[in-house]
């Protein structure tokens, strides 16, 4: 049937032309977010440590070592503020007993993404139990998130637990298709507490975390679809530390944190960064519009 064949060829040709023209128009790249949270980083020790991977991210984006949190300088409130985008007076978590939380009213940003855009794939991997399990009044991260992997740092030790988290996260980042990912690294905080100082061990733990950041970034860049994607990498911490390696007070060293955004969509910070900005920046990059009815305290910061 030569005529039919001719028609098919014409249709094929038209399809090819169409494909060529849409490739030429450069379809917008698919936004993706990777948030790497590292517990208890004091900015001057971060600055002194050898952190080539974070340095490279900063070179391709914006890093400030003068971002702020508000009291209390404790992990429970800190991670709640970062992942939700509201301060303690709203999320209700005042210490590492999460039982006073108001997460139903103020859910984490991955849960908000699921509530608004359930077709997006959300993923978190955490090794501090109350972040992802019911221990101590958790979880901060709700069951609406597509996948939360809990590695138990209390049982494994946070050094090995972080290593396992990164291995599992890297596999999923490279071979899965998460749109929004949160990876938590806990060991630097634990090392500082265990040594009761800003010791060489603490600095080494920060350098290990930086190496793990590199593993995660290698996994992202190895994706077969990487060229069609617009990855925003965000990294920050939940609090600083005092000179004895502790935290919980209201000194500048405890209230000051780093805030890093990196990628093609990163831009100069619009204002001094605060920990709450992480959640709004991540959601905005994925195309969500922040609804005033959510009563958030954050705004996107460091996006084009
Ligand atoms: Zn902490």
How remote is the CA of residue 280 from the centroid of ligand 1, in Å? Answer: 21
Q: How many residues does the chain have?
A: 304
pLDDT at 164: 98
User: How far apart (Å, rounded) are the C-alpha atoms in residues 304 and 301?
Assistant: 9
- Ligand 1 midpoint to CA 296 (Å): 22
10 CA to centre of ligand 1 in angstroms: 63
Instruction: Give the CA-trace dihedral at 212, 215, 221, 222, to 10 degrees.
Output: -160
Q: Are 65 and 277 in contact (CB under 8 A)?
A: no
Q: DSSP for 238-250?
A: S----TTS---S-
Angle of the 109-116 helix axis to the 75-84 helix axis, nearest 10: 30
Whether residue 185 contacts residue 228, with contact meaning beta carbons closer than 8 Å, is answered with no
Whether the Cβ atoms of residue 173 and residue 224 lie closer than 8 Å to each other: no
For residue 25, what pLDDT band results from cuts at 50, 70 and 90? low
106 neighbors 291 (Cβ within 8 angstroms): no
- What's the mean pLDDT when you consider all of the chain? 93
- Write down the pLDDT at residue 230: 98
By the 8 A CB rule, do 297 and 276 touch?
yes
Q: How many whole angstroms from 171 Cα to the centroid of ligand 1?
A: 26
pTM metric for this prediction: 0.91
Determine the topology of domain 31-294 in CATH.
Alkaline Phosphatase, subunit A (3.40.720)
**Within 10 Å of residue 222's Cβ, how many Cβ atoms?**
12
Ligand 1 midpoint to CA 37 (Å): 10
Q: What per-residue confidence (pLDDT) applies to 17?
A: 45
Q: Look up tokens 């209700």; give the residue.
A: 92
Which tokens go with 206?
């920060």
- Report the separation in Å between the CA atom of 188 and the middle of ligand 1, taken as the mean of its atom positions: 9
pLDDT one-digit tens code per residue, 206-249: 999 999 999 999 999 999 999 999 999 999 999 999 999 999 99
Cα(175) to centroid of ligand 1, in Å?
30
How many whole angstroms from 40 Cα to the centroid of ligand 1?
5
Query: Locate tokens 């999320």: which residue?
Result: 91
Cβ 151 vs Cβ 161: under 8 Å = yes
Calculate how far, in angstroms, residue 149's C-alpha sits from the geometric centre of ligand 1. Answer: 19
Residues paired with 269 in a beta bridge = none
CA distance 79 to 276: 9
256 — alpha (psi -120 to 50), left (phi > 0) or beta? beta
| pLDDT tens-digit readout, 114-127 | 999 999 999 999 99
**Nearest CA to 182 among 137, 125, 232?**
125
Q: Order of strands, edge to edge, in the sheet holding 229-236?
A: 61-68, 256-262, 229-236, 30-38, 180-185, 122-126, 147-150
């Amino acid at each position: 049937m030569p005529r039919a064949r001719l028609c098919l060829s014409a249709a094929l040709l038209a399809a090819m032309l169409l494909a060529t023209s849409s490739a030429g128009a450069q379809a917008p790249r698919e936004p993706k977010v990777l948030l790497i949270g590292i517990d208890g980083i004091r900015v001057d020790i971060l600055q002194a440590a050898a952190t080539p991977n974070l340095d490279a991210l900063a070179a391709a984006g914006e890093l400030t070592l003068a971002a702020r949190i508000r009291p209390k300088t404790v992990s429970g409130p800190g991670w709640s503020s970062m992942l939700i985008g509201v301060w303690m007076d709203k999320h209700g978590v005042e210490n590492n007993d999460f039982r006073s939380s108001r997460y139903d009213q103020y859910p984490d940003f991955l849960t908000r993404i699921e509530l608004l855009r359930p077709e997006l794939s959300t993923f978190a991997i955490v090794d501090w139990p109350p972040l992802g399990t019911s221990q101590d009044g958790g979880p901060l991260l709700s069951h609406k998130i597509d996948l939360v992997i809990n590695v138990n740092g209390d049982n494994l030790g946070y050094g090995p637990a972080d290593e396992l988290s990164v291995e599992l996260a890297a596999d999923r980042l490279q071979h899965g298709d998460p749109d929004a990912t949160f990876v938590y690294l806990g060991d630097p905080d634990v090392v500082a507490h265990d040594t009761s100082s800003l010791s060489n061990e603490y600095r080494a733990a920060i350098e290990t975390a930086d190496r793990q950041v590199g593993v995660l970034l290698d996994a992202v860049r190895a994706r077969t679809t990487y060229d069609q994607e617009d990855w925003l990498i965000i990294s920050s911490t939940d609090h600083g530390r005092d000179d004895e390696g502790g935290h919980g007070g209201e000194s500048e060293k405890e209230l000051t944190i780093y805030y890093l955004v990196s990628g093609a969509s990163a831009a100069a910070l619009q204002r001094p960064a605060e920990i709450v900005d992480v959640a709004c920046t991540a959601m905005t990059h994925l195309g969500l519009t922040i609804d005033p009815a959510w009563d958030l305290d954050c705004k996107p910061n460091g996006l084009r």
